[in-house]
Amino acid sequence: MTIFIFIGSLLAAMALGIPIAFALLASGVALMWHLQLFDAQILAQNLVGGADSFPLLAVPFFMLAGEIMNVGGLSRRIVDLALALVGHVKGGLGYVTIMAGCLLSALSGSAVADAAALTALLLPMMVKAGHNKVRAGGLIASVGVIGPVIPPSIGLVIFGVAANVSISKLFLAAIVPGLMIGGALWITWAWLVRREDIVPPPRKSAAEVMKAFRDATWALILPVIILVGLRMGVFTPTEAAVVAAVYALFVSTVIYRELKLPQLYGVFVASAKTSAVVMFLIAAAMVSAWLITVANLPGMVVSLLKPFMDSPILLMAAIMVLVMAVGTAMDMTPTILILTPVLMPVVKAAGIDPVYFGVLFIINNSIGLVTPPVGTVLNVVAGVGKISMDDVTKGVIPFMIAEFAVMFLMVVFPKLVTVPAGWFY
């Protein structure tokens, strides 16, 4: 009955069109009434306490860094470098998209920011070169999925806070899985374009490649600083976010000089608005998380999943299918915040490595950003690229299948995640 009241009130509020943050508060209030614990003061305390977290400071700073990179020319130079390296091969612009997506993921950690930048920069070029616009839009949307996986990742920060798991270990463990997703997209694109009659642009000269590399060097240094700093213990993930924002601001204003002082206000306002939405969502979810613990919902879920507890692989497969289903109807952040306090006790009871689970959980939620009907990244690509939502959905399907295949490969063979993670630890 408790599970039904929580899920039923949440779905009913969402069905009425109430924003997800307020829907979470409504379901929390309904659960408090059911448990005869309603107290406005407790509600307010949990709401304020939900956002009062030092690690969560990484979220607004990474978002600010992403905004600065897009406006300040760092993103464009990454794309130019990828063009110089692989733009001349058949289907080269698709490989450029994948390579640029992986590099941008190591800068911003936001799927929406990466997808918007890649769509604006590369979709017109791909269409002009003769590529199918629907397929090109689908590829760009699927590449956006890598953003929340390869560190720095806002999704991993939120999961780490909600699950009380080391964010630094999550960052380091997600590097190889993110690159594996990029590899799967590379193979899928090669298969799809093998019959396209596209004349690639001429190969760039060695001098042009070196020029593109020199132009992008300042942008490429940032992920190295972050990963080496985390690995060596120089700074925490939260401090890494501040370093990323300050570094991007310095490079954009002093080195590249593309970000002018009058533009700073708009950049700060845009990142503040996005951060406010995410932080309020986190605060509202923490109310529900507290009530989920009080109502012992995790214990009920453990009982439901007891038949799978003896086999970690079957349990992980069942959880991944559940998250896939939720991802079709809910955005990434609320899914993380709602399911993490419910699933973590199950994962720990089964003896599954929380870092391994966290990486797969975030990969699944990231793919949810391109699963219809709610896919946020699909909406971004459709809006920026002026493509219908139906067309983008058709274009993304083969790439989405490839991403799910990689994810379930990691479920069957956990060492694909745990062994490379050990190298970085």
Are the C-beta atoms of residues 410 and 416 closer than 8 Å to each other? yes
Q: What is the pLDDT of residues 42-87, one digit of tens each?
A: 777 777 776 777 777 888 888 888 788 878 888 788 888 888 887 7
What phi and psi, each to the nearest 5 degrees, are found at residue 157? Answer: -65, -45
Of the chain, the end-to-end C-alpha distance in Å amounts to 44
Largest CA distance in the chain: 73
Angle at 172 between CA 64 and CA 405, to 5 degrees: 95
Domain boundaries, the chain: 1-38, 54-424
Burial of residue 95 (CB within 10 Å: 0-12, 13-18, 19+) is buried
pTM of this prediction? 0.82
pLDDT tens for each residue of 85-102: 877 777 788 888 898 888
Helix axes 111-128, 74-86, angle to 10 degrees: 50
Cβ proximity of 351 and 312 under 8 Å: yes
What integer pLDDT is reported at residue 111 of this predicted model? 77
Of 310, 308, 417, 407, the closest CA to residue 363 belongs to: 407
Q: Are 101 and 355 in contact (CB under 8 A)?
A: no
What's the number of CA atoms in the CB half-sphere (13 Å) around residue 43?
Answer: 15
d(CA 130, CA 119): 16
| Per-residue pLDDT, 3 | 64
Phi, psi angles (nearest 5°) of residue 233: 75, 20
Selection from 227, 306, 281, 339 nearest residue 47 by Cα: 281
Which ranges of 35-193 would DSSP assign to H, the alpha helix?
40-51, 58-72, 74-86, 92-105, 111-128, 133-144, 154-163, 167-173, 175-192
Instruction: Provide the b/e sequence for 186-215 (b: ≥16 CB within 10 Å).
Output: bebbeebbeeeeeeeeeebeeeeeeebeeb
Q: Please identify every stretch of the chain with a pLDDT value under 70, giving residue numbers as ranges.
A: 1-3, 50, 108-109, 292-293, 296-302, 329, 373-374, 424-425
pLDDT at res. 298: 63
